[in-house]
Amino acid sequence: MKNTLKSILVLLIFVLASCSDKNSYELSINIKDLPDKSKVFLKYIDSTNTPITIDSTTIVKGVAKIKGVRATPAMHYLFFENANGNIPVIIEKGYIEVSAQKDSLMLAKIGGSDQNRWFASFLKTSQGFSERANGISNDLQNARANGKESFEESLREEYTELQQEATAYEISFAKENPGSLISVLLLERMFISKSVDETTLTLLINALTPEIKASEAAVKFLKAWEANLITAIGSKALDFSGTNQNGDIISLASKKGKVTIIDFWAAWCKPCREENPNVLAVYNQYHNKGLEIISVSLDKSKEDWIAAIESDQMIWNHISSLSYFDEPIAKQYQINAIPATFILDENGIIVAKDLRGAALGAQIAKMLP
- pLDDT for 128-177, tens place per residue? 989 889 988 888 888 777 777 767 788 888 888 999 999 999 999 999 99
- pLDDT for 13-31, tens place per residue? 444 444 456 889 999 999 8
Each as own residue / partner, the long-range contacts of residues 285-288 (CB below 8 Å, 24 or more positions apart, any chain) are 285/361, 285/364, 286/259, 286/364, 286/365, 286/368, 287/316
Residue 108, pLDDT > 70, answer yes
Contacts of 328 (CB under 8 A, 6+ apart): 240, 242, 321
Residue 246, pLDDT > 60, answer yes
Contacts of 4 (CB under 8 A, 6+ apart): none
In SS3 terms, 282-334 reads as: HHHHHHHHCEEEEEEECCCCHHHHHHHHHHCCCCCEEECCCCHHHCHHHHHCC
Q: Please state, in angstroms and rounded to a whole number, the distance separating the CA atoms of residues 33 and 66.
A: 19
Q: Please state, in angstroms and rounded to a whole number, the distance separating the CA atoms of residues 206 and 313.
A: 44
Residue 157 is predicted with a pLDDT of 85
Residue 13 is predicted with a pLDDT of 42
How high does pLDDT run on average in the chain?
90
Answer for the pair 269, 338: CB distance below 8 angstroms, yes or no.
yes
State the first-to-last Cα distance of the chain, in angstroms, to the nearest integer.
90
Q: Is the pTM of this model over 0.75?
A: no
Phi/psi of residue 315, nearest 5 degrees? -90, 45
Residue 21 is predicted with a pLDDT of 67
Answer for the pair 140, 152: CB distance below 8 angstroms, yes or no.
yes
Q: Please state, in angstroms and rounded to a whole number, the distance separating the CA atoms of residues 236 and 366.
A: 20
Answer for the pair 83, 34: CB distance below 8 angstroms, yes or no.
yes
- pLDDT (average), residues 102-126: 93
pLDDT tier for residue 230 given thresholds of 50, 70 and 90: confident
Rg, Å, the chain Cα set: 27
Answer for the pair 184, 209: CB distance below 8 angstroms, yes or no.
no
With a pLDDT cut of 90, the percent of the chain lying above it is 71
Residue 96, pLDDT > 50, answer yes
pLDDT tier for residue 232 given thresholds of 50, 70 and 90: confident
What is the set of domains in the chain, with CATH numbers?
23-112 (2.60.40.180), 116-231 (no CATH), 241-367 (3.40.30.10)
* Distance set, CA 312 to CA 162, 267, 337 (Å): 34, 10, 21
Q: Please state, in angstroms and rounded to a whole number, the distance separating the CA atoms of residues 50 and 8.
A: 46
**CB environment 314-344: b (16+ within 10 A), e (fewer):** bebbbbbbeeeeebebbeebebeebbbbbbb
- pLDDT for 29-59, tens place per residue? 998 889 999 999 999 998 888 899 999 999 9
Contacts of 12 (CB under 8 A, 6+ apart): none
